[in-house]
Amino acid sequence: MPTIFVLNGPNLNLLGTREPEIYGHQTLDDIAGMLEDQARPLGLTIDMRQSNHEGHLIDWLHEANAVGAKAVLLNAGGYTHTSIAIHDAIKSIAVPVIEVHLSDPHKREEFRHLSYIGMAAVACFAGHGAASYTLALDAAAKL
Protein backbone atom coordinates (compact mmCIF):
# COMPACT_ATOMS: atom_id res chain seq x y z
CA MET A 1 0.00 0.00 0.00
CA PRO A 2 1.24 3.54 -0.68
CA THR A 3 2.79 5.25 2.34
CA ILE A 4 2.23 8.76 3.63
CA PHE A 5 5.05 10.05 5.81
CA VAL A 6 3.79 12.31 8.62
CA LEU A 7 6.73 14.28 9.96
CA ASN A 8 6.50 16.41 13.08
CA GLY A 9 9.08 18.89 14.31
CA PRO A 10 10.19 20.37 17.59
CA ASN A 11 7.99 20.36 20.68
CA LEU A 12 5.20 18.41 19.01
CA ASN A 13 6.05 15.50 21.31
CA LEU A 14 4.47 17.68 24.03
CA LEU A 15 1.05 17.92 22.40
CA GLY A 16 -1.76 17.52 24.89
CA THR A 17 0.15 19.32 27.63
CA ARG A 18 1.88 22.17 25.78
CA GLU A 19 -0.34 25.26 25.59
CA PRO A 20 -3.57 23.29 25.10
CA GLU A 21 -5.47 26.55 24.59
CA ILE A 22 -3.51 26.93 21.32
CA TYR A 23 -2.68 23.35 20.30
CA GLY A 24 -5.53 21.38 21.85
CA HIS A 25 -5.64 18.42 24.22
CA GLN A 26 -4.94 15.63 21.74
CA THR A 27 -1.51 14.02 21.87
CA LEU A 28 0.62 13.13 18.87
CA ASP A 29 -0.31 9.48 19.54
CA ASP A 30 -4.00 10.46 19.37
CA ILE A 31 -3.40 12.11 16.00
CA ALA A 32 -1.43 9.08 14.77
CA GLY A 33 -4.37 6.84 15.67
CA MET A 34 -6.83 9.10 13.85
CA LEU A 35 -4.65 9.12 10.74
CA GLU A 36 -4.15 5.34 10.76
CA ASP A 37 -7.92 4.81 11.05
CA GLN A 38 -8.53 7.26 8.22
CA ALA A 39 -5.77 5.83 6.00
CA ARG A 40 -6.93 2.19 6.04
CA PRO A 41 -10.09 2.62 3.94
CA LEU A 42 -8.13 4.89 1.59
CA GLY A 43 -5.68 2.07 0.94
CA LEU A 44 -2.80 3.99 2.54
CA THR A 45 -0.34 3.39 5.35
CA ILE A 46 1.00 6.04 7.71
CA ASP A 47 4.63 6.40 8.78
CA MET A 48 4.43 8.90 11.66
CA ARG A 49 7.61 10.41 13.13
CA GLN A 50 8.63 13.26 15.41
CA SER A 51 11.98 14.87 16.13
CA ASN A 52 13.24 17.97 17.84
CA HIS A 53 16.22 17.96 15.44
CA GLU A 54 16.19 19.69 12.06
CA GLY A 55 18.57 17.20 10.46
CA HIS A 56 16.28 14.28 11.25
CA LEU A 57 13.43 16.00 9.40
CA ILE A 58 15.68 16.57 6.40
CA ASP A 59 16.90 12.96 6.43
CA TRP A 60 13.29 11.74 6.61
CA LEU A 61 12.28 13.91 3.66
CA HIS A 62 15.13 12.36 1.66
CA GLU A 63 14.03 8.89 2.84
CA ALA A 64 10.41 9.54 1.79
CA ASN A 65 11.69 10.32 -1.68
CA ALA A 66 14.05 7.32 -1.78
CA VAL A 67 11.32 4.83 -0.85
CA GLY A 68 8.72 6.39 -3.15
CA ALA A 69 6.27 7.67 -0.56
CA LYS A 70 3.01 8.99 -1.99
CA ALA A 71 3.27 12.23 -0.01
CA VAL A 72 4.63 13.85 3.13
CA LEU A 73 2.51 15.71 5.67
CA LEU A 74 4.93 18.06 7.46
CA ASN A 75 4.33 20.00 10.63
CA ALA A 76 7.77 21.53 11.03
CA GLY A 77 6.80 23.41 14.20
CA GLY A 78 9.09 26.36 14.83
CA TYR A 79 11.32 25.34 11.90
CA THR A 80 8.49 26.50 9.63
CA HIS A 81 9.62 30.08 10.14
CA THR A 82 13.38 29.56 10.23
CA SER A 83 14.57 26.60 8.19
CA ILE A 84 15.83 27.32 4.73
CA ALA A 85 17.48 23.89 4.93
CA ILE A 86 14.10 22.13 5.23
CA HIS A 87 12.75 24.35 2.44
CA ASP A 88 15.66 23.27 0.24
CA ALA A 89 15.12 19.60 1.13
CA ILE A 90 11.47 19.84 0.05
CA LYS A 91 12.50 21.47 -3.21
CA SER A 92 15.07 18.70 -3.74
CA ILE A 93 12.62 15.79 -3.70
CA ALA A 94 9.88 14.63 -6.06
CA VAL A 95 7.45 13.60 -3.30
CA PRO A 96 4.75 16.24 -2.72
CA VAL A 97 4.86 17.84 0.72
CA ILE A 98 1.77 19.24 2.42
CA GLU A 99 2.32 21.73 5.25
CA VAL A 100 0.25 21.14 8.40
CA HIS A 101 -0.35 23.32 11.47
CA LEU A 102 -2.71 22.85 14.39
CA SER A 103 -3.08 26.59 14.90
CA ASP A 104 -3.27 29.28 12.22
CA PRO A 105 0.16 30.95 12.12
CA HIS A 106 -1.33 34.03 10.42
CA LYS A 107 -3.52 34.68 13.46
CA ARG A 108 -0.56 34.54 15.84
CA GLU A 109 2.63 36.50 16.39
CA GLU A 110 3.99 38.28 13.33
CA PHE A 111 7.20 36.21 13.26
CA ARG A 112 5.02 33.15 12.55
CA HIS A 113 3.56 34.67 9.38
CA LEU A 114 6.54 33.70 7.22
CA SER A 115 6.66 30.03 6.20
CA TYR A 116 9.72 28.69 4.41
CA ILE A 117 7.91 25.34 4.35
CA GLY A 118 4.88 26.87 2.64
CA MET A 119 7.11 28.33 -0.07
CA ALA A 120 7.99 24.78 -1.13
CA ALA A 121 4.88 22.77 -0.17
CA VAL A 122 2.03 21.95 -2.57
CA ALA A 123 -0.68 22.83 -0.03
CA CYS A 124 -1.23 23.94 3.56
CA PHE A 125 -3.83 23.01 6.15
CA ALA A 126 -3.76 25.16 9.28
CA GLY A 127 -5.99 26.35 12.06
CA HIS A 128 -8.22 23.29 12.35
CA GLY A 129 -6.52 21.64 15.33
CA ALA A 130 -5.94 17.91 14.84
CA ALA A 131 -8.33 18.04 11.88
CA SER A 132 -5.60 19.89 9.95
CA TYR A 133 -3.87 16.51 9.71
CA THR A 134 -6.99 14.66 8.55
CA LEU A 135 -7.74 17.32 5.93
CA ALA A 136 -4.16 17.08 4.71
CA LEU A 137 -4.41 13.28 4.52
CA ASP A 138 -7.57 13.55 2.40
CA ALA A 139 -5.71 15.90 0.05
CA ALA A 140 -2.68 13.57 -0.07
CA ALA A 141 -4.91 10.61 -0.96
CA LYS A 142 -6.12 12.50 -4.02
CA LEU A 143 -2.62 13.28 -5.32
Q: Which residues pair with 98 in a beta bridge?
A: 73, 123
Q: What is the pLDDT of residues 29-66, one digit of tens each?
A: 999 999 999 999 999 999 999 999 999 999 999 999 99
Domains and CATH numbers, the chain: 3-141 (3.40.50.9100)
Counting beta carbons within 10 angstroms of the beta carbon of residue 110, is it exposed (0 to 12), middle (13 to 18) or buried (19 or more)?
Answer: exposed
Nearest of 106, 5, 17, 97 to residue 51 by alpha carbon: 5
The C-alpha atoms of residue 101 and residue 76 are separated, in whole angstroms, by 8
Q: What is the pLDDT of residues 132-143, one digit of tens each?
A: 999 999 999 999
Report residue 20's pLDDT band, with 50, 70 and 90 as the boundaries. Answer: low
pTM for this one?
0.92
pLDDT at 18: 75
Comparison of pLDDT for 107 and 14, the residue scoring more: 14
Q: Which residues are catalytic?
A: 23, 101
pLDDT at 136: 98
